[in-house]
Amino acid sequence: MFVLMIFQMKNSILTFVLLLFFATFVVGQETGFASFYSKRLHGRHTSDGGKYHSDSLTCAHKTYPFGTLLRVQNPKNNNEVIVKVTDRGPHTRSRLIDLSYSAAAELDIVRAGIAKVIVTKIDILPDPIRLIPIPQTTVQVSHVRFLSQDLQSLIDKLVRTQTHHTKN
């Protein structure tokens, strides 16, 4: 009887741990409508500071941080694509995500223009590990270390005299 109770306790703990593990991957799933950027926006700036390329697999989302990877699936044909959040939007209330032209083509929604999709955030690391602070260290690197020895010594003298003058 006692052995059976310990087995059931271990089994319930294992079940709980597995449930927590799989719950981290299911959380962050949304269903809504997707549209896509026009090809004429190619080369324009996005909210993250980069430029939009119609052949890249990127998207605009209202809340996810820039750089977040999202798996977007078209439930009609089960096509899916992984995109990176580089912009804010869509600025239409009824839409969940704006895709790059290439991502929309992969999902086969270009002809329709708008389609229902399932968006899932991809977590490479679970939250407890991702939230651990990573210590930052700085290492001074000389940008001119590939110069000739004579030129390197002249630059070093110049840097020393400038730091000496700024300290005084």
pLDDT digits (tens, 9 = 90+) for 20-39: 444 444 457 999 999 998 88
Q: Which candidate, 76, 64, 59, places its Cα nearest to that of 112?
A: 76
Cross-strand bridge partners of residue 97? 34, 61
The better pLDDT of the pair 83, 25 is held by 83
Q: What is the mean pLDDT of residues 41-62?
A: 90
Q: Supply the pLDDT for residue 10.
A: 52
CA angle 146, 148, 151 (to 5 degrees): 110
Q: Which fold has domain 27-130?
A: Barwin-like endoglucanases (2.40.40)
What is the rounded radius of gyration, in angstroms, for the C-alpha atoms of the chain? 26
When pLDDT is cut at 50, 70 and 90, the band that residue 133 belongs to is: low
